[in-house]
Structure 1
Amino acid sequence: MDHVFTLLEEQADKLERIVEERSKELLEEKKHTDMLLDRLLPKETADNLKNEKPVEPEAFDSVTIFYSDVVSFTSICAQCTPLQVVDMLNDLYTTFDSVITEYDVYKVPVLRNKLCSNILLHLVLLLSLEKQKFAPFTGML
């Protein structure tokens, strides 16, 4: 009979460890989901979704979505020093941020995809003539 109780205790301990492990995994997944909501949506909308509150739809008379990619980024990097690449990206982000600030535009922060070989710049912002500054880097525009 002691053997049966020992087996039951071992099984109960094993199940407790599994529940604890799965609870930790669930908590990590919730943190990840919350982080994505915070990065992709305005704060009020993200908070409402996290707290299971209704999100009221909004209408806008005009919306512009700007998707940006540094064309031939790999080739550009091959011809530049690492510092030049960092300076170029810093200038690009700084210009985007100044336009965003000037026009009070909502920006979706950059999400990095570990599988991408290039750095892709995903922003929601007002398309500005400021992009002309970067024509020498991309050979386009």
Structure 2
Amino acid sequence: MKQCLVEAAEQGPTFYEIFNQFKTFNKGKKTNMIDSMLQMLEQYSNNLEDLIQEGTEELEIEKQKTEKLLSQMLPPSVVESLKKGCMVGAEGFDLVTIESIEVVDLLNDLYTFFDAIIGSHDVYKMLLSRDLYIPDRKVL
């Protein structure tokens, strides 16, 4: 018990070490309630470690998907700035004749127009991917 009373958990004994110490106290006798409790705690600890590892792997996969998507949509310099948490300012080019605000206004008008059309029919708006199929629905 004294070995377990340390401030940093990594300095104390593992469940396996504690379990082995209790085995030596028991000297081959029938297991008791403490042994059973230690076995359950060890199993819980191992399961928790597995869950954490699984969650970490899933998070890494999602991070890679996000980075791939960003690299497909944005220039590399913008992606790197966003990863670092920096603000990305607008850039101007002399040879460009359409201003970005005009493009945003045009897209906003288009989406508003599409929403008005959708509202007058028995349909709803949804994003489709190659893997998604919803039968018996009208999709615009």
Classify the TM-score, shorter chain: 0.3 to 0.5
Q: Report the TM-score, using the length of structure 2 for normalisation.
A: 0.44
Higher relative contact order (CA 8 A, sep 6+): 1
Bigger CA radius of gyration: 2
Q: Which has the larger share of strand?
A: 1
